[in-house]
Amino acid sequence: MGLIVRAILIGLLAVPLSGEWEAHAQDGNSASNSMEVLIGVINMEAVVRDAQARKDIDSQVAEHAKRIQTDIRTVEKTLRESEAELGRQRSVVSAEVFEAKKKEFLESMSKAQRHMQANRAAVSAAKGVAMKTFENAMREAIIEVASEKGISLLFRRREVVIAPKALELDREVLALLNKKLPAVTVDVQWPVEP
């Protein structure tokens, strides 16, 4: 964010929250409209980091990653055994048979790689859906807390240099988010086994 915008934001924060801003009509009349602007600040990173649903998503993704790693180790072991067997057969089978077995081995290796990539993509897609659910719930919690407090202008904490604790909404938003969405299922649609 540019220095000018930051200076404007700091200037906005320096205005007392209970003060009135007068807007004069363009025709020069002295009639004034008063408008109270209540400002809030939220540390989005802290809310995301501390939310139960986000921790649940991360935990499930880690479990799925472990499953994929276990599958990879199993497939690698099988492929190493197949490669060793192919090496042993090189001297006892004809060149045509060896080439056919080598081609079969390379195809099975390629198929295993595609399957593992599909597994990773399935986990990534499921995480994306779960994160979208989480982000929507977080947005709703922010709007609800801000509305309850009558806040009409909300800044991210990282964009504000100085703000009193009274303006921060983190705790209220986090509590509401944890209440409304304590967990999210990461529903992985696993590809068919090769």
Domain positions in the chain: 3-180
Answer yes or no: is pLDDT of 4 > 50. no
| 38 compared with 25, residue with greater pLDDT | 38
Q: Which of 15-19, 25-29, 80-84, 93-97 has the lowest mean pLDDT?
A: 15-19
Q: What's the pLDDT tens digit per position in 78-114?
A: 988 988 888 888 888 888 888 888 898 899 899 999 9
Please provide the DSSP assignment of 5-52 as one string: HHHHHHHHHHS-TT----EE-TT----EE-----EEEE-HHHHHHH-H
pLDDT at 83: 87
Can you state the angle between helices 52-89 and 170-180, rounded to 10 degrees?
60
Q: What one-character DSSP code corresponds to residue 156?
A: E
152-167: buried (b, 16+ CB within 10 Å) or exposed (e) per residue? eebbebeebeeeeeeb
pTM surpassing 0.75? no
Answer yes or no: is pLDDT of 66 > 90. yes
pLDDT band, very low/low/confident/very high, at 28 (cuts 50, 70, 90): very low
Nearest to 181 by CA among 122, 116, 130: 130
Answer yes or no: is pLDDT of 119 > 70. yes
Answer yes or no: is pLDDT of 19 > 50. no
How does the average pLDDT of the chain come out, rounded? 84
pLDDT at 35: 79
